[in-house]
Structure 1
Amino acid sequence: MLHIRLSTALLLATSCALWTAVSMEMVTTCDNGDNVQRLSCDLGVIAVQKALYGREDKVTCSAGKPPQQLANTECAQAGTVDALKTRCNGKKVCEINTDFVRTSDPCYGIFKYLQTKYTCFPANHVVACEGSSAHLYCDEGQVITVYGADYGRRDQTTCSYKRPEAQILNVDCSNPTNIVATRCNGKNSCTVEASNSVFTDPCGGTYKYLEVAYVCESKTGSSETMLHIRLSTALLLATSCVLWTAVSMEMVTTCDNDDNVQRLSCDVGVIAVQTALYGRADEVTCSEEIPPQQLANTACAQEGTVDALKTRCNGKKVCEINTDFIRTSDPCDGIFKYLQTKYTCFPANHVVACEGSSAHLYCDKGQVITVYGADYGRRDQTTCSYKRPESKILNVDCSNPTNIVATRCDGKNSCTVEASNSVFTDPCGGTYKYLEVAYVCDYRM
């Protein structure tokens, strides 16, 4: 199995992933209507390096376009990289659409695209909901350097628990601020209240949050050194060790009560389901207030459960299902059952490309791609949702595992796959979809 075929070299290389976290990521989004571009960092925060809105070759986003719309390959709108840096730097996830950068037309009659190159580096990342305080602190002998801060709201999920819907609807409320840097840079610790009185109110009636990215550096560090390579040895070593512990076993047990939800998730790496049971293996699990006769059969297991979980969840960062998903038959009539899943998280590369964008997979020289899992569809209402109509993100039961990415990319050093219905067919008409891919890089044998 792929998840246990990780070479020692791969484990060593990945455990030091944060030393190589400054490798370049690239996202390309064709300018079709309101296509969404998504930048994300599993580890660290976004640091935009380059961004192009225009055209610099005749191949990118060229499918179905007449030659005259591809002719100008020296087309670039000024200010694009600054706009992306202001919007996205210091965040874990950043979504925009081409409307955000299409402030003018740099080459009339040419079909354009947005292409962004960025790195992820291991800054500390703090979110404080409105009415709370962000606490920034470093080890003794180190001081804070704020990379980016933003007060407002960019999604409907952060700081949303039991908030009225009207207070979380406005996700176009992003207000970059230098107040945190002014208050905290050069200090060993610092507390900043997430409030309108500190930052003013960028969107009245919306419940907001403060998002901060910062690093800790030695007081003797050179101020001229680039931020993303001024990371302390302690931070790098501590964070790189996360990947060594990422293969420990996790277990989730969900009692089969109506439509209870089971959630698997990985902060680092992607899900790799090891075992799964729908049935009963003992008399204790999920036994509260259940009569003894419904606990008697402890050799009850529905066939195919682990395969169903692997198909649904492997290669994803988060996977939610309920017991209806696997309750396709009754393996033991009259017995109260549960779903118990054991899984690991391992440090695969994880890429999400919104419909109309392309997923770029690549490895270092001498290494080749092995795709662990790929899925085209929609499983939540937040991914690739920026300014999309509500009707196009409502269907979250649109999950279509595919081997197309593996067929195209396995064994190659780099590979680009377009997230489109023409490549994968349309698993749910009228829904705006995305491609999610997990892959590893291994040395050629």
Structure 2
Amino acid sequence: MQNCSIVVGNAAFTEPCLGTYKYLNVSYECILPPSAPTTNLVTCESETARLSCDQGNINVLSANYGRTNSSTCSTGKPANQLSNVQCRQSTSLSVLTTLCNGQQSCSIVVGNVAFTEPCPGTYKYLNVSYECITPPPPSAPSTNLFTCESQTAPLSCAQGTINVLSANYGRTDQTTCSTGKPANQLSNVQCTQSTSLSVLTTQCDEKPDCSISVNNAVFGDPCVGTYKYLNVSYTCVPTIIICQDKGSTITCEGNRKLNIHFANYGRRDAVTCPHSRASAMSSTCTSSQTRNLQLRCNGKRRCVLNASNSQFHDQCPHIHKYLEVSYSCD
């Protein structure tokens, strides 16, 4: 946020030391958002303009087919074909956005056929500026998992990271995990443990997989004498990868806003973002950027990301790194 106010008291922070008059000591910095990584492409008339993204999809920002100076695309051309520097085709942007937006690569022959003639007798060129945008992740279906007391609950994501939605350790019906149990251990169906969600989010959120023992030692005993189970609902949040020294923009459609779940700048495997020098992929290193990107991106419709040492602390100077980000549009 650009500014923030909070009332310093037990209501906001809870009571850490009863009877003591307390104060809040906070250290903060102001982070300037990086400039968007844009590509500016100039293509002379009768040639082919090729727009492409290494990562993400094309989003055209501006375009003009015409001439706004006498030097661009001027080699070998007579002066009378270069003198009109007020030549603009107002439909240039709509032509490019219709053809190229949302594509990973796009080609167009620069000429009157594609754009129509804005100034007869002038030798023209196409000047287009575009960025590469990572499309919003699809809404992830939720998984509902029941695990009986004394067993282990396995949460896992084939792709992305875990985001726990709800959890309860206790009993809310007589049938779940009831096989072989006496009636007196199944009769209490109002058994809930309020701290179940915080236990799961602390241990499992932002991880690709997680195992948790379902027992009183982990969750506490909410109802002595009742045979309990864990009911947890979670989604797998998609993860995007941006290789070192590359950039992209994450966006949300409509009124939906970004919510960063996990971010790391480093290397967690020897496969992602390959490098010609094997030693640059030989080690793993992690540098959590979750809080950094939450402050920078949460609540916005779009956020520019640059995977570079100038943006994030370099924990491993000799390793070719990548930015790993899990996010949703809420």
Taking structure 1 as the reference length, what is the TM-score of the superposition? 0.32
> Rg: which structure is higher?
2
Higher helix share goes to which structure? 1
Taking structure 2 as the reference length, what is the TM-score of the superposition? 0.41
